[in-house]
Structure 1
Amino acid sequence: MNYRCAHRWAFPRWGAALSEHTDALAAPSGHEVSVRVTHCGMCHSDLHIQAGGFDMGGGKLTSLERAGATLPLTMGHEIGGEVVEIGPEVSGVALGDKVIVYPWLGCGQCAVCLRGDDHLCPRAARNLGIQLPGGYADMVRVPHSRYLVPIGTLEPARAATFACAGITAYGAIRKLNPMTAEDHVAIIGCGGVGMTAVALLSATSQARIVAIDPDPAKREAALRYGASLAFDPNEDGALRTIGKACNNDIAGVVDFVGAESTSSLAVNLVRRTGQVVIVGLFGGEFRMPLPMFAIKSLQITGSYVAGLEDLRELVALAQRVDLPQIPLDLRPLASVNQALDDLSHGRVIGRVVLQP
């Protein structure tokens, strides 16, 4: 294989379909590492990236161009593969290592990065798959070897999804207070990330898991992967039905959709002193009567992926514990446009993983 050439799928303008491109790659310098991509998970946020931004409510859209993204753009931030070239200053990584790539890059020097939260870097946050070419390709250039996490004997396709779906779910559920076997935790949205959260919660918590999703196939899958109850939020009287089934005692809700309707459902479902963790980026505005913050003594928290050390911890957990395995839909990279269409229309159960 020619390691100085990358074949990638990118879109030439916002909202356009992806087409194949070929780029020459210089030899890696400094701390750079070249990774031959073997698997790349597909994330729902890729649909927003392809569109050019996220819905901020009131007709406002963020601009990925202002955030440093340039066209043609190669998406893909759940990257797994093999180290094939290393720069002269790289240490701790060897040719042939099987790794997953942490895609949320920071400056590496500020206090936020030094504590392992590169994804929240206030100085120079960049993402593989947005500002830098991502994993919808056969090769990816990683700026520093510190962002590579060895996977050992883990299944490569599944390990690749840890870089976003895994740590996003892991980071969100870790924000919940400790739960007992009497507590209910509701998961809103049982796509790839929400389903991962159901599986991780079932393996790490005693709480009763309540899955909420309009798709009956996803509700059924959630019940297989650890949920005790499952509900359609679009049914008449859903709020009352869910509350009654849980004795109006839902301690925490994690919203993996992040829409106006789901955030409203979350704050109305949770009990007094309960927690709401908002993860999804569907978009819109959060609305709630201000007195209810105090009256219900709510804790409302945002959660954006998770840190590099969280990824290392999740890999270690998966090596130590037999975690429930959500469905993976393996597809060739050349089918990326159809896969994105299936994702946008809710036809994916679990996670699509592309293979170059």
Structure 2
Amino acid sequence: MKAFAMKAQGAALEEIELDRPKPMGREVLLKVTHAGVCHTDTHVQDGGYDLGSRGTLDMSTRGVTYPCVMGHETVGEVVEVGEDVTDVAVGDTCLAFPWIGCGECGKCAHGHENACDNGRALGIIQFGGFAEYLLLPDQRYAIDVAGVDPAWAATLACSGVTSYSSARKATATVNPDEPIGVMGVGGVGMMTVAALVALGHKNIIAIDVSDENLASAQELGATLTVNSKNATSHDLVEAAGGQFIAIIDLVNTGDTVALAFDALSRAGKIVQVGLFGGEFVVPTAIMALKGLTLQGNYVGTVEEVREVVELARQGSLPKLPITGGTLNVDGVNDGLERLRTGRARGRTVLTP
């Protein structure tokens, strides 16, 4: 089968030939019909994450090997199953859950495979969806998306579940009319606005440096927009009519966290999602005096993906813009470059 792989850290993708997998036991083989291109792919290609004064988190320490076939937002048609598969049938259209854990630790046992210390994520540690076929190690990772636009469904495995999981964390103990900010309304930020709307939140403030992104966020349900270029925390509070009970930071640099931190009310929370890197120095006394929370969010669980898919199927989740392209080596490389240079709007989903 054809696959589009990175042969070394930082290299452009090349077309390679791999053996078509043969599913055994509870395994499921998908013929890839839709593959999303995500900002995480650019970090994997670059080889790490910026940790500020602590240097760089090298992806090789997380288990990345070469050739690396990326792609973790994948929808495909089931073309073959292992002999023990009972819940998935040939011909089904399924979304691949990519955030697979070791299957043996306590986190995995309680359904939090995305937090596993020995994760085996598709498209990062194991071969992903930038290929003709994708092998799922268990039928539970094949999520039926019948009735959902498959291009949109592909985005739900990453941006969708990330947005939904972070929105749930932000709204867990607040009233629907309390102000929640969404910092950075690119592709994932737009989906976060949509997730907050789907969860019934009524006071959503979109914050970004792009008026175009802010206009799109308002179309998706943001009740107020703030252009944060040259803005201070006071400016955000003044625009929102008061301090924020929560801010979901989809950028998550030292600058954006500092901006959000000083805009929080007592018992406020920052849900840190973005992977753009940097660091933030915490004023420890303020953390205690105001009872603040800094909480990270990394994608979501398989059950949360199922919940997001159901919201999409019911029409409760506003749809974000999707840019198409061809699933070949040029299409993937172009999609990665558009993300890296900030030219991608909404989400990019490639088809063969």
The TM-score with structure 1 as length reference comes to 0.94
SS at the partner of 1:162?
helix
1:257 aligns with 2:251: yes
Q: Percent identity?
A: 39
Question: 2:73 maps to which residue?
Answer: 78
Separation of aligned partners in 2, 1:107 and 1:255: 29
Separation of aligned partners in 1, 2:68 and 2:289: 47
1:218 aligns with 2:213: yes
1:347 aligns with 2:339: no
Counterpart pick for 2:120 among 122, 126, 131:
126
Separation of aligned partners in 2, 1:270 and 1:344: 31
> CA distance change for structure 1 residues 181 and 59 in 2, over 3 Å: closer, same or farther?
closer
CA RMSD of aligned residues (A): 1.5
Please state how far the C-alpha of 1:219 moved relative to its aligned partner: 1.0
Could you tell me which amino acid in structure 1 is paired with residue 149 of structure 2? E
Separation of aligned partners in 2, 1:313 and 1:325: 16
Counterpart pick for 1:276 among 261, 270, 285:
270
Please state how far the C-alpha of 1:27 moved relative to its aligned partner: 2.0
Could you tell me which amino acid in structure 1 is paired with residue 324 of structure 2? L
Could you tell me which amino acid in structure 1 is paired with residue 342 of structure 2? G
1:267 aligns with 2:264: no
Could you tell me which amino acid in structure 2 is paired with residue 84 of structure 1? V
Question: 2:289 maps to which residue?
Answer: 295
Which has the larger displacement, 80-89 or 317-326?
317-326
Deviations 1:167-203 (A, max 9, x none): 0001001012344353111001112111101011123
Please state how far the C-alpha of 1:140 moved relative to its aligned partner: 0.9
1:65 aligns with 2:60: yes
Runs of 4+ in 1 over 4 A off after TM superposition: none
> CA distance change for structure 1 residues 26 and 45 in 2, over 3 Å: closer, same or farther?
closer
Question: 1:318 maps to which residue?
Answer: 312
Deviations 1:112-159 (A, max 9, x none): 21221111123x311101111111112111111111110121111111
SS at the partner of 2:169?
coil
Q: Which runs of 5+ in 1 are unaligned?
A: none
Equivalent positions of 1:43-122 (< 5 A) are 43-58=38-53, 60-122=55-117
Could you tell me which amino acid in structure 2 is paired with residue 217 of structure 1? E
Separation of aligned partners in 2, 1:163 and 1:181: 26
> Number of residues paired by the alignment?
349
Separation of aligned partners in 1, 2:210 and 2:250: 14
Q: Which runs of 5+ in 2 are unaligned?
A: none
1:151 aligns with 2:154: no
Could you tell me which amino acid in structure 2 is paired with residue 197 of structure 1? T
Separation of aligned partners in 2, 1:341 and 1:143: 30
Question: 2:154 maps to which residue?
Answer: 160
